[in-house]
Structure 1
C-alpha cells in the first residue's frame, strides 16, 4: 500500500485537495504531519478520516522521532503542502528525490528563507513582475534550492494586490500539485466529485 506523508503548518487547503484527488484509489494511504497543534489542516484531515501526527521542534530537529515514524509507516513520498520548517538533513538523506515542495513563485526568483505566502506575492508585485506562478521541486537541505520538477505561470496585473494574485496562484497549485504527486506515484489523479473547486 503506497503511503504519502503530507506535511503542513496551516489551513491545509493544498493537503485537502491532494487527498480528495486520490479518493478513487483505495490502496493509497495518506498521513498528515503537522507542527502546529491548532492548525486547520488537522480538522480537515479528521473530516477525511486521515491519520495525523503532531510534533514539536524538539521532535523534528533534536530527535529521530519523526524520521522513525516515516520509516515505520513505509512512506513512499513526502509532500510539503504549506510546511514552513526546513527538512532535517537526516530525513532528506533517507528520502532522496522523494520529498517535494510547492513554492508560490517562479524559482529561483522570490525564494529562500522567510519567503512564503503573502510575503512572496508582495515581493513579486513590488518588483513589477508581469508573470508569476508556481514551482514544484524536490527538497534538499536548503530552502527552495532543490531540482525543479514543474513550473506553471500566471499573469500579474497592474491592479493586483497580494490577495488577487494569491487566488490565481492557488488555482495553479490545486491543478498541478496533484498531477506531480500522481506522476511520482505512477497512479491516476482523476478528481473525485468531492475535489475542491478551482479558484477563479
Structure 2
C-alpha cells in the first residue's frame, strides 16, 4: 500500500476525496499524515476525526518549516505528497525527494502561476469570457504550476455562468479528477 501525506492550508477537499476513495478500496493508498501551515485548518480536524496523524508546521512551530516537513515525510515513509489547497510554495528539497502532486482549478498552462488559485482563477476565466475551463492534476516542481501534467478534465461554461457557479462545478470535477489521477499513477 502506497503511503501518502497531505499538505493543506484550509479545508483540504481533495484530501477528503482521496480518503473516501481509500476507504472504498478504489485506491490502494494509505494517508498516513496531514500537515498544515494553519493550525486552525479544517483538514487537521478531519484528519483527527479519521484517526490520521496530523500536525501544524509553520514558522511558529519550526525554524525551517520545509526541513521539518521533509523530515516528517521521511519518518512516515511517504512516497507521494498531495497538495490539497496548500497555499505555501513547496521547497525544492521536498519536490526532489518525493512525488508531489497538485490539483489546479484551470486548464494549465492557462491561468497558472503565482497568485492564481481558487476564486482568482475563476474570476480571470470569466473576465476573459472563456468557453471552457477545467481541472489539471500535475506534478509539482520548483515553479508554480509548471510540473508535468498527469490529467486534465474539461467542462464547458454555460451561457449564464457566474464565478460562483463555475467554482462549484470545478470543485465537483476536481474530486473525481484527483481520484482518477491517483489511479493512473
- One fold, TM greater than 0.5? yes
1:19 to 1:60, Cα distance in 2 relative to 1, 3 A: farther
After the TM superposition, which residues 74-153 of structure 1 pair with which residues of structure 2 at under 5 Å, given as runs?
A: 74-95=77-98, 98-153=99-154
Find out whether 1:38 has 2:34 as its counterpart: no
Structure-2 residue corresponding to 1:189: none
Instruction: Tell me how far 1:61 sits from its aligned partner.
Output: 4.6
After the TM superposition, which residues 164-183 of structure 1 pair with which residues of structure 2 at under 5 Å, given as runs?
A: 164-183=165-184
Structure-2 residue corresponding to 1:7: 7
Q: For the Cα contact (< 8 Å) 1:61–1:88, is it kept in 2?
A: no
Matched residue of 2:23: which SS?
coil
Structure 2 distance, partners of 1:46, 1:69, is 17
Structure 2 distance, partners of 1:61, 1:2, is 27
1:50 to 1:88, Cα distance in 2 relative to 1, 3 A: same
CA-based RMSD:
1.9
Scaled by the length of structure 1, the TM-score of the pair is: 0.85
Instruction: Tell me how far 1:157 sits from its aligned partner.
Output: 2.4
Moved over 6 A (4+): none
**Aligned residues, how many?**
182
Q: For the Cα contact (< 8 Å) 1:6–1:15, is it kept in 2?
A: yes
Unaligned runs of 5+ in 2: none
Matched residue of 1:22: which SS?
helix
Scaled by the length of structure 2, the TM-score of the pair is: 0.91
Unaligned runs of 5+ in 1: 185-200
